[in-house]
């Protein structure tokens, strides 16, 4: 399974076990100043999606939405040259190779959805975690009116808003939740 650059060859047969492996190896890492690990955070986000009866695509998008933080785990040719370091873009590019746009696009838009919600929903901003308020400034702050219009015209923006709310809910310290292995069949089923 190893290529010459020691990164795995990823295809329909290998991507799901590889995603599980990344969660296993890298999942315990801290999540950007929050009190949950990366794996707990994404698994909690997926559990919120399931609890709300979200579509399978949104469940998978929630489960994998921060995979871009682990972009170094993927072969270089998985990412276009000159890619920026934004985890939403790298995550979406990784996912778009294996999953349809209704999974990769909400991931790409989930930071924009936060900037959108901060602009249109005053209660939303008040509920953000301190780390999330901090990153909002780095991400460009609240959207302007023009950006709001543009976002609302973008395909999959509603799923991105849904995902964003699960992302924000998935930060509960000590909450034990179904692990990624529970979603193995769904992850396989939803592949392109």
CB nearer to Fe ion: give 43 or 167: 167
Question: Distance between CA atoms of 98 and 10, rounded to whole angstroms?
Answer: 9
Out of 34, 89, 105, 167, point to the residue binding Fe ion (CB under 5 A): 167
34 binds Fe ion (CB under 5 A): no
Question: Distance between CA atoms of 134 and 130, rounded to whole angstroms?
Answer: 6
Interface map 44-73 toward Fe ion (x if CB under 5 A): ----------------------x-------
Q: Are 93 and 140 in contact (CB under 8 A)?
A: no
105 binds Fe ion (CB under 5 A): no
Which stretch, 2-10, 86-94, 148-156, 159-167, contacts Fe ion (CB under 5 A)? 159-167
In this chain, which residue has its C-beta nearest to Fe ion? 167
* Crossing angle (nearest 10°) for helices 38-51 and 56-64: 160
Give the number of other Cβ atoms within 10 Å of residue 52's Cβ.
Answer: 13
Task: State the residues that interact with Fe ion by CB under 5 A.
Answer: 66, 167
């Amino acid at each position: 399974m190893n290529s010459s650059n020691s990164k795995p060859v990823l295809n329909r047969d290998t991507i799901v076990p590889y995603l599980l492996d990344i969660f296993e190896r890298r999942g315990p890492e801290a999540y950007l100043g929050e009190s949950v690990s990366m794996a707990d955070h994404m698994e909690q986000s997926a559990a919120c999606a399931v609890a709300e009866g979200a579509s399978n695509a949104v469940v998978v998008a929630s489960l994998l939405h921060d995979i871009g933080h682990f972009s170094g785990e993927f072969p270089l040719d998985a990412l276009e040259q000159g890619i920026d370091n934004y985890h939403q873009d790298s995550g979406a590019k990784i996912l778009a190779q294996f999953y349809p746009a209704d999974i990769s696009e909400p991931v790409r838009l989930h930071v924009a959805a936060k900037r959108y919600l901060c602009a249109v929903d005053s209660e939303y901003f008040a509920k953000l975690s301190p780390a999330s308020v901090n990153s909002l400034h780095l991400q460009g702050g609240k959207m302007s009116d023009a950006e709001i219009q543009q976002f609302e015209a973008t395909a999959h923006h509603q799923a991105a808003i849904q995902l964003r709310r699960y992302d924000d809910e998935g930060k509960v310290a000590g909450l034990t939740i179904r692990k990624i292995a529970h979603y193995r069949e769904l992850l396989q089923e939803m592949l392109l």
